[in-house]
Amino acid sequence: MYLALPAIAAKAAEAQFNAARLGTVYGFAYLRGFLHALYDKSQDGADMYSKWLSRVDSEFDAALKSRNFASILSDYVDSMIDLRRMFRDAGYPVDYMDRAFDAYVHNMMVFSNIPGRFNLTPSDVVLTNGKTRLLHYRVDGQKKGAPLLVIYAPINRYHILDIEPEKSVVRRLASGGLDTYLLDWGHPGPGDDSLSLKDYVGYVEAAVDFIKKSGAEKVSILGYCWGGIMALIYSALHADSVNRLALMAVPVDTSQDDTILAHWARALDSDRIAEEFGHMDGQMLDLGFILRNPPRFAFDKYVRFFEKMHDRGFVDTFTAVERWLYNTPPIPGNLYRDIINGCYKRNALFKGEMALDGMKVDLSKIDVPVLAIAAEHDDLASPASTLAVLGAVSSKDKDSMRMPGGHVGLCVSASAHKSLWPQVARWLSS
């Protein structure tokens, strides 16, 4: 152990240097934003804070998408992985500390999601498969169209689709006459690190097979974000079981995904991350979301919150979304690696070059009605990337819907629930 200390110290110094390089990029973005705002005469009616915030948005967008930043970020992550391995090889109990931390985070997440914490739409757990649960919503009304399976992303929890009664996507769909089911991925633990994209598509297959036992010949599917990737793969392999396919903010053609996180995903070595940690830690994902634009995501939203504290509806939605936002389970290492490498780095899903368990995933095999739903200001899945699916499938009946706002706004904004979701329910019921 003691013989390794000089090497560990040198690697720690390297990691610290790379951290300083990252900090420099952020620091200069802040400074340039301030200087531009100070001398900006085009927004004379705006206060200094608003002008600075507007300018710093563009500064971060340019700086954090640059090749230079991607290189620095990759160097930093690699040096931290090297440092962790050196500590473990020297006999430090890093794996034990990781397990203890993961257990603590897991217990806190479970506690934060007891039923009373969220005013969820009533549902029954009709199928369990590992950590995955299939929920069937109890909403009265005449059922129209094929049963609907909602596939949420394995990032955060499904509660954003059921955030509160007046802004609940699943309640809106079920109330629209759809016999609605949802896949809850649960909280993967250390024993689930080996789960891959194949396993998650297998969970989708098991859910569809279960729903079809109720007498339905086919099932409609709504996939959100990475859940849409699984919906696409399943539909390509089992198009005869799908009635209609709706894809909401899904990164399909990642060559057209110009978001900051897409740039970072392509820059980092997902194989090393999965091999060293076994999973992508949820708290690291939370930090990554904030680092896309710290003024916006770690400061300004709380300024806006205090400005609207008199609005009870706004406060209730804000606190519910915050509770959901920072409840991020880990992503199993193999699943993380499959999606990053297969979708973001090789764009294999869109190109028709992905294989799952020896079967080629060809999106042109999808000939059922397809709907692509995009948010115009989505900073997690570029609209062009989502809408590209319409050119990849063979469907004759295909349509798109676009809404103002961002990725999460599709689920929780008043405008989405007023205009978008009634339209989606009618489309799915056709």
- What was the pLDDT predicted at 365? 97
- What was the pLDDT predicted at 90? 78
Residue 272 to residue 282: CA distance in whole angstroms: 17
Question: What is the band of 45 on the pLDDT scale with cuts at 50, 70, 90?
Answer: low
Residue 414 has pLDDT above 80, yes or no: yes
- What was the pLDDT predicted at 101? 57
Q: 179 with 135: CB under 8 angstroms?
A: no
- What was the pLDDT predicted at 119? 81
Q: Which residues pair with 279 in a beta bridge?
A: 332
Q: What DSSP character marks residue 249?
A: S
Q: Which residues are marked as active site?
A: 225, 378, 407
Residues 6+ apart with CB under 8 A from 194: 332, 333, 334
Q: 162 with 324: CB under 8 angstroms?
A: no
Residue 115 has pLDDT above 80, yes or no: no
Residues 6+ apart with CB under 8 A from 179: 143, 147, 148
Distance of CA 428 to the CA centre of its chain: 23
Cβ count near 396 (within 10 Å): 9
pLDDT digits (tens, 9 = 90+) for 145-185: 899 999 999 998 999 999 999 999 999 999 989 999 999 99
Residue 421 has pLDDT above 80, yes or no: yes
Residue 106 has pLDDT above 60, yes or no: no
Residues 6+ apart with CB under 8 A from 203: 129, 130, 132, 183, 185
- What was the pLDDT predicted at 98? 65
Residues 6+ apart with CB under 8 A from 120: 159, 162
For the entire predicted model, the pTM comes to 0.91
Cβ count near 307 (within 10 Å): 10
| In the chain, % of residues over pLDDT 90 | 70
Greatest mean pLDDT range, 102-111, 133-142, 259-268, 290-299: 259-268
